[in-house]
Structure 1
Amino acid sequence: MCVMRVVVATDRIGDLDSAGVGSALAAGWQRTAPWAELAVVPMGESARGFGGAAAALLGVEAMLLAAEGGAVVAADRATLVISVEQQVDHRAWVPLGSSVELGRMVAEQIREHRPRHLVIDVGGVAAQDGGAGFLHGLGARADAPLDEGVTGLRGITDVDLSPVHHLLAEVDDITVIVPDAEAEIPLLGLRGTTSLRGSAARQEPGSVLENQDMLDADAALEAFAAAVDPEAAGRPGAGACGVAFALLALGADVGGGPRWCGDRAGIERTLAHADVVLTGTDLFDFASRGGGVVQHMAHLSEVALRPCIAAAGAVVIGAREMRSMGIESAYAVDELAGERQPMVGADDLVELGARIARTWDR
């Protein structure tokens, strides 16, 4: 008998995190084909399940800091992961929005855990201050308010980062996790975060935002960048989520949640020994293309020359479009749901896993 080896790496579905989804699908698959070998790899996108997936990969319990708006903390002996998981419009105009609470939370967790590797998911932060508030929360001082949003940065000329460097003295590396759509956004200029947010805001009904407001905000960010690290301001992703610049100025690398999870799990080595890859998401439609986890797994599967299939609460995408993005086929919990996302529990996913196995593991 040929033993099929399956890698299960999905997004969260319904109220289940990635590890829970993967375990349920794997249990269903083995109910149909008990001889199959399955490897569950937790995956998560920025601001949407990344913290839980990271905790599973670190082998620790995720801690929810409810007071911080849905922040998830996971830490082992060497790595500290902090993920702000709330829905945020990264094109919203929020000139008074500050990232200071993130900075304070990170400072507190660094003092508690003393990590060598620091991973910060900023996808759920509502600010466009370039991370000025974040630096203030870590202890930075300046000749202008750092915790009053981009508006407070007007006229800034000096930022003292020595307290920040002291706090981070034992940290070897920093990774900032952002949504894929934000990963290349610059800090300044016509394609920068201020321009993108301003253009989106001006199209809103009743908007009173003027060109001068956008110019003033961009000028304030430029002055802040000049006082902190002009070179970091030019790096791709410096404008990500309105706050990433400060982390890049501290030496951080920008990355995506699925890629970090995959690298942590050594998923490329696992795929080399797999026969099929099973990924998944809540709603598999053409607009979202399944989301970042599905897209990342489709790409890795293509590179590894392995077929990739998808499980979802609902599937609203044609076979041709699906295959164009590297998904062989997709299976829905509710075949008649349309664009309505059905309620999905663990039992539903066990049944779905068993049904998929009847097609693929015969």
Structure 2
Amino acid sequence: MRVLLAPDCFGTALTAAQAADALAAGWRGGAPHDEVTTCPMADGGPGFVATLRTSLGGDVDAVTVTGPLGDRVPAAVLRLGTTAYVESAHALGLDLVPPARRDPTRTTSAGAGVLLAAALAGGARRVVVGLGGSATNDAGAGLLAELADTLLGEGAVGTAGAVLRRGGGALHDVREQDLRWLPALRDALRDVDLVAAVDVDVPLLGLQGASAGFAPQKGATPEQAQDLERALGVFAHAAAAALGPDPVRRDLLAPPAARPGARPGARSGASRWTALPGAGAAGGVGFALALLGGRLVPGASLVADALGLPDRIAAHDLVVTGEGRTDWQSLHGKVVAEVAARALPLAVPTVVVAGEVLVGRRELSAAGVAAAYAVADGAEQVAAALADPAGTLAARAARVARTWSPA
């Protein structure tokens, strides 16, 4: 049997390439007669640039940017002709913040602005920004401020820059006049094809938005998540107002207009950006890039196209994918859902091997997944698996291989 192994990274425990190698070692141990091929994947989050470089080649520029806590961290720009690929996780990644210091009310996306500016400085006319795996939840306010000061001149943002770079918790007091430079920044990028490769298709606000859906896993308490939801709503209203009237329907998720004289219960003006699928990616950086005229596209789909995934799947009898945790997010633009969607019309079964599986069989089946297997169940098994992630993943893959491979 011909088996294609196409996993994403397993959180911070294994890169996609390491996960693919562990799955391959396990599968060959359980079914040595099978023909196994690896195809590491990415969805815009960690591993985005490395995965694309493996397939596409290109030149890599090493740069230094601002991390989520304001320290200096290494990053990279992948260049292919006039196209540049960058990975926001290099500047905003959750792995850059020690667990004891994780607080999305304070972490900033400013480093992503430095990274985007570096891509533009090399003459790129098309910039693809991978979004996912961030420690931030500031709707890209830090990115916008950093990019404005770079492209429009130091001080273009004025005194509001300090607030915008302070994290999502500081956005409650942002007003339209604080963002008066936004139209000029958008205009400065009018000749650049800006693409946001998002890892999830969620909006900025709401029950599955950046704050409610993702802030807790970045260290926020329930109270902080609610506070961030309100703060991002205020910022979104101010940004929409600064960019001018928009002839689309009003955004019912936005909070009451935060300006003197507003009617009690009044909603903010029309803001098509907050409801865009992917606006909530990377703590709302998708929203910020949309404000600048960027297109939001599914990162897993972009990578699948770049790797020629359908042709690879068609040459195999079974495809195995995986990730650290398969949960509701996995069905909203992640690698697992994308691989299954590409395999389904080719009548090739998709099997998931994940660190944890928190989605029911019915939901997985509806997404095109034939079966899902967890490496660990419960806190104790998860802790044991993290002690030897490659070994435990390989062991689970060997058992799965004996189930699926013909005797």
SS at match of 1:259: helix
Partners of 2:362 and 2:382 in 1: CA distance? 22
Aligned partners of 2:7 and 2:323 also within 8 Å:
yes
SS at match of 1:128: coil
- Structure 2 residue corresponding to 1:84, chosen from 88, 98, 112: 88
Q: 1:262 Cα shift?
A: 0.7
SS at match of 1:204: helix
- Structure 2 residue corresponding to 1:204, chosen from 194, 217, 223: 223
Aligned partners of 1:178 and 1:256 also within 8 Å:
yes
| Aligned equivalent of 1:26 | 24
Partners of 2:201 and 2:342 in 1: CA distance? 19
131-140 or 287-296, larger mean C-alpha shift = 287-296
310-319 or 6-15, larger mean C-alpha shift = 310-319
Aligned partners of 1:284 and 1:290 also within 8 Å:
no
| Aligned equivalent of 1:154 | 176
Q: 1:16 Cα shift?
A: 1.7
SS at match of 1:42: coil
Q: 1:75 Cα shift?
A: 0.9
The 1:106/1:207 distance shift into structure 2, 3 A limit, reads closer
| Aligned equivalent of 1:176 | 196
Per the normalisation by structure 2, the TM-score is 0.65
Partners of 2:393 and 2:232 in 1: CA distance? 47
Aligned partners of 2:176 and 2:241 also within 8 Å:
yes
Partners of 1:9 and 1:202 in 2: CA distance? 34
SS at match of 2:52: helix
The 1:163/1:267 distance shift into structure 2, 3 A limit, reads same
Aligned partners of 1:275 and 1:306 also within 8 Å:
yes
239-248 or 59-68, larger mean C-alpha shift = 59-68
Q: 1:288 Cα shift?
A: 5.8
SS at match of 2:41: coil
- Structure 2 residue corresponding to 1:105, chosen from 92, 108, 115: 115
Aligned partners of 2:352 and 2:373 also within 8 Å:
yes
Gaps spanning 5+ residues in structure 1: where? none
Q: 1:309 Cα shift?
A: 0.6
Question: Sequence identity, in percent?
Answer: 26
The 1:17/1:56 distance shift into structure 2, 3 A limit, reads farther
The 1:35/1:268 distance shift into structure 2, 3 A limit, reads same
8-17 or 201-210, larger mean C-alpha shift = 201-210
Amino acid at match of 2:20: G
Q: 1:216 Cα shift?
A: 5.3
Q: 1:328 Cα shift?
A: 1.8
| Aligned equivalent of 1:310 | 352
Q: Deviations over 1:171-208 (max 9, x none)?
A: 5x3211333143x448xxx99979979xx999728988
SS at match of 2:151: coil
SS at match of 2:341: helix
Amino acid at match of 2:403: T
Q: Deviations over 1:82-134 (max 9, x none)?
A: 2232239xxx985x8764432223212432x4334312134424323655325
Amino acid at match of 1:179: D
Partners of 1:245 and 1:361 in 2: CA distance? 45
101-110 or 319-328, larger mean C-alpha shift = 319-328
The 1:104/1:302 distance shift into structure 2, 3 A limit, reads same
| Aligned equivalent of 1:121 | 130
The 1:270/1:195 distance shift into structure 2, 3 A limit, reads closer
The 1:324/1:348 distance shift into structure 2, 3 A limit, reads same
- Structure 2 residue corresponding to 1:40, chosen from 38, 62, 69: 38
Aligned partners of 1:333 and 1:348 also within 8 Å:
yes
Q: 1:265 Cα shift?
A: 0.6
Q: How large is the Cα RMSD of the aligned pairs? A: 4.6
**1:59-70 correspondence runs (5 A):** 59=57, 65=64, 67-69=66-68
Instruction: Confirm or deny that 1:220 pairs with 2:238.
Output: yes
Instruction: Confirm or deny that 1:8 pairs with 2:18.
Output: no
| Aligned equivalent of 2:272 | 234
Aligned partners of 1:58 and 1:76 also within 8 Å:
no
Partners of 1:36 and 1:209 in 2: CA distance? 50
Aligned partners of 1:129 and 1:221 also within 8 Å:
no
| Aligned equivalent of 2:399 | 355
Partners of 1:77 and 1:256 in 2: CA distance? 20
Aligned partners of 1:51 and 1:82 also within 8 Å:
yes
Q: Deviations over 1:148-187 (max 9, x none)?
A: 3254543258437668866886x5x3211333143x448x
| Aligned equivalent of 1:140 | 152
Q: 1:280 Cα shift?
A: 0.9
Q: 1:145 Cα shift?
A: 5.0
Amino acid at match of 2:2: R
SS at match of 1:254: strand
Amino acid at match of 1:223: A
Partners of 2:14 and 2:63 in 1: CA distance? 16
Gaps spanning 5+ residues in structure 2: where? 98-102, 165-170, 249-269
The 1:327/1:337 distance shift into structure 2, 3 A limit, reads farther
Partners of 1:210 and 1:280 in 2: CA distance? 31
